[in-house]
Every structure is written in C-alpha cells, then in structure tokens.
Amino acid sequence: MIEEMSGAGQFESVTLNPTVTITAESDPELAEELHARVADYCFIARSVNTPVHHEVTIVQAQVA
C-alpha cells in the first residue's frame, strides 16, 4: 500500500491466493494453464485500477 503524507492511500498491487481442488481424474497441468488466463475473467481484477496477481495452488483429490 502506498500512503500519502495526507494519510490517504492506495493499493500498489493485489495478490490473490486461491486454492483450487480438482478431481483425481483431472489434469493438474491443464488446470494451471487455464488458471493462467483467469485475470481476463476475474471480477476483482476487472473492477480495480491496480495490478491483480493470481498465485494459485492446485490440489488434486485422491482416488477413493
């Protein structure tokens, strides 16, 4: 966050850290690839005037 002498401030950037759980049969590489394009559709990223970064964690469910 950047703070001005007046006490006002603004965010310099935002980093979102979502955790995405995929099925055991899903392809984790494809999930990473698809998530790389998420900023094009992200409500938060498209609604603010600061860079929004996404650092996803992909969790693959285990076969029962």
Q: Where are the domains of the chain?
A: 14-60
Position 57 scores a pLDDT of 93
Q: What's the distance, Cα to Cα, between the start and end of the chain in Å?
A: 45
Position 61 scores a pLDDT of 93
Whole-model pTM: value is 0.65
Residue whose C-alpha is closest to residue 60's, from 26, 36, 37? 26
What percent of the chain lies above the pLDDT cut of 70?
98
Residue whose C-alpha is closest to residue 20's, from 53, 64, 61? 61
Position 37 scores a pLDDT of 86
Helix (H) or strand (E) holding 44: helix 43-47
Q: pLDDT tens digits, residue range 16-63? A: 899 999 999 999 999 999 988 887 888 888 888 898 888 999 999 987
Token pair listed for 34: 């698809």
